[in-house]
């Protein structure tokens, strides 16, 4: 025969165990923050944010080491006046781009529509795989970021003519096998 006291004791033990389990599982979030809340650039290039000028997916396509390059990415004007943006890469002028209010302009001439003109960098001394400083100046606003230099292959092969030519893949060893 059960008594009311033993039933209450079991219930209290069960509630205590559930509370301890909840605390233990909840503590996991202290050392492992929720990464879906972190802001990041979901692209190969870098983002730069200003007051009325923003830059998205900015990168340089080049073989580097003295070859020419193409500046890729988009400039966004969230202001109410047109912006004339002066672009420099590693301290050398790469041109000017006009961005109308409420619009965006592709720095590489754009695959969608091709309305813009490619922003060419005459000499990229930085080797592919490293970063180079990109500076965007418009109406007293300056954005500075370190953009990656990527080879003109794969997605960026379309810029090969302006970025030092195509890059041949490394030859595979005859005796190697997949691991």
113 domain residue, yes or no: yes
Residues of the chain under the 70 pLDDT cut: 1-5, 24-31, 33, 111-116, 169-170, 173-179
Q: What is the CATH number of the domain that holds 120?
A: 2.60.40
Task: Give the burial class of 20: count Cβ atoms within 10 A of its Cβ; 0-12 exposed, 13-18 middle, 19 or more buried.
Answer: exposed
Tokens 């650039």 sit at which residue?
Answer: 41
111 domain residue, yes or no: yes
In this prediction, residue 9 carries a pLDDT of: 80
In this prediction, residue 12 carries a pLDDT of: 77
In this prediction, residue 117 carries a pLDDT of: 83
Strands (E), the chain: 46-49, 53-62, 67-77, 83-89, 92-99, 104-106, 119-124, 131-138, 141-150
In this prediction, residue 135 carries a pLDDT of: 98
In this prediction, residue 15 carries a pLDDT of: 80
pLDDT per residue as tens digits for the range 87-97 = 999 999 999 99
In this prediction, residue 43 carries a pLDDT of: 83
- For residue 143, what are the domain limits? 46-162
80 domain residue, yes or no: yes
CB atoms under 10 Å from CB of 15, counted, come to: 10
């Amino acid at each position: 025969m059960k008594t009311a006291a033993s039933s209450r004791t079991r219930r209290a033990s069960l509630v205590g165990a559930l509370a301890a389990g909840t605390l233990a599982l909840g503590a996991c979030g202290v050392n492992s923050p929720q990464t879906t809340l972190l802001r990041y650039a979901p692209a190969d290039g870098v983002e730069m944010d200003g007051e009325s000028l923003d830059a998205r997916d900015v990168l340089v396509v080049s073989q580097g080491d003295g070859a020419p390059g193409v500046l890729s990415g988009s400039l966004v004007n969230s202001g109410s006046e047109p912006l004339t943006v002066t672009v420099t890469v590693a301290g050398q002028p790469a041109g000017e781009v006009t961005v109308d209010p409420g619009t965006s302009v592709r720095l590489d001439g754009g695959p969608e529509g091709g309305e813009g003109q490619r922003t060419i960098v005459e000499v990229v001394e930085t080797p592919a795989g490293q970063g180079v400083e990109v500076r965007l100046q418009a109406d007293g606003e300056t954005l500075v970021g370190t953009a990656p230099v990527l080879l003109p292959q794969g997605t960026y092969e379309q810029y090969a003519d302006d970025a030092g030519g195509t890059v041949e893949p490394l030859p595979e060893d005859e005796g190697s096998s997949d691991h």
